[in-house]
Amino acid sequence: MTRPTLDNWLTPEHVHWSLRHVREMLPTARIRRGQYSHELNAAHDQSLLQLEFPGTHQSFVLGQWLESTEVDSLTVLRGNDLVLEWRAADVADDDVHLLFSVTKSVTSLLVGVLVGRGLIEIEAPVTQYVPAVVGSGFDGATVRNLLDMTTAFAFIEDYNPGDDLRAYRNAAGWYPTEPGAPNLHEFIATREADGQHGQRFRYQSPATDLLGWICESVTTQPFATALSENVWAPMGAEADADIAVDRQGSPRNAGGMSVTPRDLARLGLLVADGGRGIIPIDYLDDLTHNGSTQQWADGDFAPWLSGGAYRSCWYQPRLDPAVVMGVGIHGQMLYVDRARRIVVAKQSSWSLADDTDAHNDAYLACQSIARALN
């Protein structure tokens, strides 16, 4: 193969390799596992691959859909039972795979722990924790606004990519940068205001990077250390995870985490299990049920998940009860059906970064799996 470079690692010809080798492309911080791994029972049901489900424009058979839509792994849990493990031909169980924006959902869980410990107040202004953003587009926003993506600052998230996203990725070190270019925190602190906070859902990833900055501020620890000690190790991950950092060590909390397929499923199971005393149950109940359907209807993704909501960095489809999802570009999805205690973890390397129909097909596949296993 021709090895990708920082200029082209996210292009269609390289993305299948790159998303499983981020630590070879970018600086990363290790999120250490603990002394034990949460045990999963082998209970494989290959008949699930014959499951028929309705897609956006046509029906699919699960196994054929997995083979034909650039999926790298699918891991299905029913409680502690490992019901299905599907891997693309060259994908190993211990490959750590970039989650993109499912990272936001993980960041939210650490925020929940810190809220439970009294270190973060959800309705407090973000400037209380990060004075560096006083006078920026984040001035006047609350932690709740960051969690629900209802901040209003000048930034357009266009995966073509547009100018804003290119500058953002330059700051994060995901593209080559010129000497003197801003780092990630400098990029965040120089965003300008664009409207009133709290009005509608606006998909702007730097808001979640600021959440990670707050976590570091209140714990006085690097984000990777705080996540390891408060979530990753206690939940019983079987492998270390990684998070991409910029040239000053600031983490990409909005999209830089890489994990193994089973550990992604374990993360979903932690949510399905009500936090197991690690994540406060009231925080999980809130992110499951209390999103604003009006802010969603007025927001950027209104045509997708009609009647849904976004709460604390998790999507709420609002069809089956107590379902939440983490979703990332290039085909990442963590589907958690808390009522049925079913988790579907999907990692992919779509050639196109973003495709609404493909995201919807993935959601419908996960929903159909959960209903079939009920």
Q: What is the pLDDT of residues 188-234, one digit of tens each?
A: 999 999 999 999 999 999 999 999 999 999 999 999 999 999 999 99
* Residue 62 in domain: yes
* Residue 326 in domain: yes
What the block records as the tokens of 48 is: 């699930």
Q: By 3-state DSSP, what share of the chain in percent is helix, strand and coil, each rounded to 5?
A: 35, 20, 45
- Tell how strand 41-42 and strand 81-87 pair up: parallel
> pLDDT value at position 374?
83
Cβ neighbors of 182 (< 8 A, separation 6 or more) are 171, 190
Q: Which residues of the chain fall short of a pLDDT of 70?
A: 1
* Residue 42 in domain: yes
> pLDDT value at position 359?
96
> Catalytic: 101?
yes
> pLDDT value at position 132?
98
Q: Is the pTM of this model over 0.85?
A: yes
* Residue 99 in domain: yes
What's the CA gap between 56 and 48, in Å, rounded? Answer: 20
> pLDDT value at position 2?
82
* Residue 140 in domain: no
Find the catalytic residue in 73, 101, 105, 136. Answer: 101
**Domain span holding position 227:** 24-118+222-372
> pLDDT value at position 181?
87
> pLDDT value at position 78?
98
* Residue 159 in domain: no
* Residue 311 in domain: yes
Number of domains in the chain: 1
* Domain CATH code at residue 289: 3.40.710.10
* Residue 295 in domain: yes
